Amino acid sequence: MKPSTGVTVFMDREGLKGASSKAKRREKRNEWLFVNPYLVAGVVGASFCFAWFFSVLTTSDFVAGPGGTSFGSSLLHPVFVAALLFAYAVLWLLSNRLQTHRVALAVISLVCGAAPLIGVFSGAFPALGLAAAALSGAGVAVLATLWVEFVCVLMKVQIRAAVASMLALSFLWYAGTVFVDGRFVPYAIMLYALASVSTYLFLQVRFSLMDDLPAVDAAESDERLQITWKPSLLTVMGSVAQGFALYWLLTPEVHTFGVSAAIQGGSLAVLALLLVDSRRSFFLKESFIRRMFLPVLAACILPLFFLPETLWAGPCVLAFLFSLLPYSSALFATCEHIVRCGLSSMRTFGWARLFSSAGLLLGLSAGWLAFSTEVLGSVTLPVMVVVVVMFFILVSEAISKQSYYPGESQEPARRIVIGPRGEMMLEASCEDAESGVRFFHLKCDAVAKQCGLSKRQTEVLHMLAKGRNAEYVQKQLFISPHTAKAHIYNIYRKTGAHSRQDLMDLVEKAVVDEDAPVGLS
């Protein structure tokens, strides 16, 4: 029998007749999210998957190490990214069928993770090196999609912190490819894949909540999808910068130990900052990253005009490090969107990563034209730098000043109506459905503050106001049935409501500060 938790959870035993000081102290203790070791294992397993991705992306010898294939070595990373693009397209198109075969997908990732074994023979058969790169791309895409689904479904209350944690940990493990002998780098990468897949399969066997992963119909998911083409442009822009900088950094003459260490250490610092920010101030929002993107990237790329070639690595490393911010922001936004709108993780993540992979492939192609060809003679590099910067300017202008990601500041909707079954029904005056979602959460927070609800009770209120029942609350918050019912009773007592319909009416009539941040982001 699968255990659903690995720790003892203390149930809220607050008396149902009064609110004594002792009961309040017990209630405060239950504000903590009790750590489930299986969820922690999931975050660690996901971090190994992203360590696999970043190690391949930022390592020049990920197939066979030094002395391996030389034929087509410049094509290894484009082939890897093209395989990512193809795999994400397949996951997006066939999500209805594939989301019911998660174990089979994990096994496929395991087979793809063994790609370095065939790369060993790339010296005698160069095409095997390209095959290993393609298998690595397909395996990373499939496994990353499975882990994102795990995080979105089972860790939705702390989704941003969970994603930031797995990204930061991925660059901690990435140190293994920086400090080991170059001959063993492909095998270190293979271990990342093995560790990640093994963790996922272990959780499939041992963690009962893995059986409850939903299979959301693609058509229903598309109806609720609110991500437009404009935020996707930001993803493309960040990936173009990432690919352009990486092309030069992966040149064998440039990719030294110092460059690898700078990428690893700088990336770990950037993602650790995002992790701290996700737990505290949430200052590094998509809107802030968008405003800073153009001046920072221009400051990194334009110096290539006048710096000597020996110093190009510095600006390229800085450009790569800053490109991690829009990459992470897009990942945060996609996961939050999946959680808030009840989307198909496989379909939505596959769609979002299509843009990221396309931008990365475009960036690598631009880097190849700028650094490895002379199609325009001696002015090839300056012209390509201008083209890339102009692309950034055009995208920044297209995106304008509005934020298009869930959880960010939006133009407030003027009214939202809660239907009889708890569904959110926007009136014609509401121009943006995403603003309506935010407005609904603001109304719930206003009711919670007015009635003195605790943080956990506020989370429960958000669910009850949508028409959810005690069983749903129990599963979403990983608490016992008794604790879920106690929270619901206390909410009814504090608000004076007698039914879910009363709560919906109370939320609908709430007056909110439209500029206030949403409490449960």
Q: Which pLDDT score is estimated for 123?
A: 62
Of 66-75, 159-168, 364-373, which gets the smallest average pLDDT?
Answer: 66-75
The backbone region for 5, taken as left when phi is positive above 0, alpha when psi lies in -120 to 50, beta otherwise, is beta
Tokens, residue 56: 């391949």
Q: How far apart are CA 178 and CA 263, in angstroms?
A: 10
* The residue count for the chain: 521
Residue 423 scores a pLDDT above 90: no
Q: Round to whole Å and give the CA distance between 444 and 458.
A: 7
pLDDT tens-digit series, residues 376-385: 888 888 888 8
CA dist 39 and 46 (Å) reads 11
Q: Give the angle 177-183-184 at the CA atoms, nearest 5°.
A: 50
pLDDT tens digit sequence for 287-296: 677 778 778 8
Q: How confident is the model at residue 124 (pLDDT cuts 50, 70, 90)?
A: low
3-state secondary structure 444-490: HHHHHHHHCCCHHHHHHHHHHCCCCCHHHHHHHHCCCHHHHHHHHHH
Show the domains of the chain with their CATH numbers: 37-399 (1.20.1250.20), 411-419+429-509 (1.10.10.10)
Q: Measure the CA angle with vertex 209, ends 207 and 210; round to 5°.
A: 75
Assess whether pLDDT exceeds 60 at residue 375.
yes
Q: Is the pLDDT of residue 202 over 90?
A: yes
pLDDT tens track for 297-330: 888 888 888 888 888 999 999 999 998 888 888 8
pLDDT at 212 over 80: no
Q: How confident is the model at residue 61 (pLDDT cuts 50, 70, 90)?
A: confident
What Rg, from alpha-carbon coordinates, does the chain have? 24
pLDDT of residue 511: 74
> 10 Å Cβ neighbour count for 229?
10
Q: How confident is the model at residue 275 (pLDDT cuts 50, 70, 90)?
A: confident
Mean pLDDT of 173-181: 84
